[in-house]
Structure 1
Amino acid sequence: MSLKVGNVNLNYVEKNEEGGYENTSREIPAGQGVMTAFNRIGYTWTGGSYPLITGVLRNEWGFNGFVITDNANTGEFMDAYQMIEAGADGKLTSIPDGARYTFDESNVAEYHYGREAMHRMLYTIANSNVMNGAMPGSDFKQGMQKVQTIQIAINVICGGLILLMIYLTYRRFRKKETIVAEK
């Protein structure tokens, strides 16, 4: 249902005939990313199911976006080659060795499937808001965003208030102790 919701307008900058740039837009599918399930269909892991990913998702529904597997840290049965051969693009994993995939560029099939996966990943990035305002010659500057500055300011203010509360609590407790000692 989320893939059939419809299209959204993607705004971007396009080179015109005079060599300048102008704002333009086009419609793209609203859904650009899918995560496969952790479970199996019969004995096949869904992240490696060719009939599901290529047959239904890509061919029947016309999905061109990024497909990532669900948590692939738990088993060797979640084979990365099976995944890219089935039409998925990325594997959700964080373990160092067990679920990793070593790409063999001399293998024609691996090269083909890897290239398709990279194409779909780059397509998804290029058609996302991350590229908003980008054009040839754009200068991307590293630095803090306004939101980050506000978060730092809030953290500093809250930290100061916590320290003030600790000081006032200590002072209040200290006064009672002094009064008891004088009596």
Structure 2
Amino acid sequence: MNILRIDSTIKPREASVSAGLADRVLARLTAADPKAVVTTRDVIGVPAIDGNWLGAVFTPADQRNADQVAIAAYADELLNEVRAADTLVIALPVYNFAIPAQLKNWLDQLARKGETFRYTEAGPEGLLKGKRAIVALSSDGTQLGSDIDFASGYLRHMLGFFGITDVEFVAADRMAFGADETLARAHEAVDQLAA
């Protein structure tokens, strides 16, 4: 099994609840499959897409200038990591009710017509099918699935848009209202995951 771990916390890793939950998820998965290969991508520093990115990834490879070659190569590297993965483990801290900007940058880098999705007469079709995603969500005050949770629904939608529809959440949400109890429930949810 190939596992791609995505980190998006702005905190030091040892202080991050989402990173700690992702550690626990990975421990469960690798205990079940000791031969699993884990690739880690910290999306802090992944650049936002812009006009130069658009020009690079949609210019045929043999017509790209040197700057476009570099931009497209980076985007391809991110995409190839996802393509190679059987399972994605995404550490998701909720910031201001939504996903971190850097995680959105990563998703935007992946959103490429003809690579991760295509349009059909029946609507969009994701091209990264057959993968599983486990999302380790943490928040101080936002409850998973509540009216103010704009993080989990968006991430689930984007993964589904890419064809990744097997998405599970383990949540240490509303940490400000009882961190120990919340974390214990999250750990129990990880321990119940099918490995």
TM-score (norm 2): 0.25
Higher CA-based Rg: 1
Q: Which has the higher contact order (CA 8 A, sep 6+)?
A: 2
* Structure that is richer in strand per residue: 2
